[in-house]
Amino acid sequence: MVSPRLSPTEMGAVLPQPTRALLLDQQPVWLDALERVLGELSIQVAAKLDDPGAALDVLVDERPALFMLALEYADGSEEAEYVRTARAAAKETIVLVCSSRRDPIRIRRVLEAGAAAYILKTLSEEDVRCAIRLAFERTIYFFTPPRSRPAERRPEETLTERELEILGLVAGGRSNAEVARMLWVSEATVKLHLSHIYGKLGVTNRTAAGAWAHGHGLTTGSTDMLPALRTRVVGARS
């Protein structure tokens, strides 16, 4: 997804109430950078650690509102399992994964494990602040720098078949949970697809995406109508 760029006014200077965070990374420079960004949001850092086991102990004892972690030396499955363990240990804590790796499989695994966002370390401080604030809205995002899209291609031409299915069902009034059940996927997967859809359509929420779908005849509340929907879009592309 192309990350929504919010102005300082839109983001708000700080979060609405005092908040504490736990940081885990083996790169001291990144820990210091995160602490500075969190300070600008009036988030107090409870601890900065480089040991995953010690971080889990602090997580259980402190129960911070936010846990930002990076496990650069673990593979995607190990990282996802750690996120799952952290979420089980402190269910109310929001977990954000930071990484220098742009690996779709890794991203999918950590989001399905319960991470609220996957933040690339190449992002600007402004985008990291935006990611943190949006994470507190309980919405899953994949934050990555904007990429240019060929001007001659219409938005509907960039949507995958799965994205068309999800967009049509959401615009037809289906909730994320209903879409997940109908398509046999997790809610996390639905939310991730929606974030990609928003980026491709140039919108920021499901209401705007639904309005776009209605305006382009891409609306259905039933999986039975999906083949017709796909045929209509493919016909428009040819």
Phi, psi of 119 (to 5 degrees): -110, 120
Tell the CATH topology of 155-227.
Arc Repressor Mutant, subunit A (1.10.10)
Q: What is the mean pLDDT of residues 111-125?
A: 85
Cα dist from 193 to 55, 83, 150, whole Å = 31, 20, 21
Digit-coded pLDDT (tens) for 178-232: 888 888 888 888 888 888 888 888 888 888 888 888 777 666 554 454 554 455 4
% of the chain residues with pLDDT over 70: 73
Q: Which residue has the tokens 């899209």?
A: 149
Digit-coded pLDDT (tens) for 70-82: 987 666 678 889 9
Digit-coded pLDDT (tens) for 48-68: 999 999 999 999 999 999 999
Select 8-143's CATH number: 3.30.565.10, 3.40.50.2300, 1.10.10.10, 3.90.245.10: 3.40.50.2300
Q: What is the mean pLDDT of residues 102-129?
A: 84
CB 97 within 8 A of CB 72: no
- pTM of the full structure: 0.55
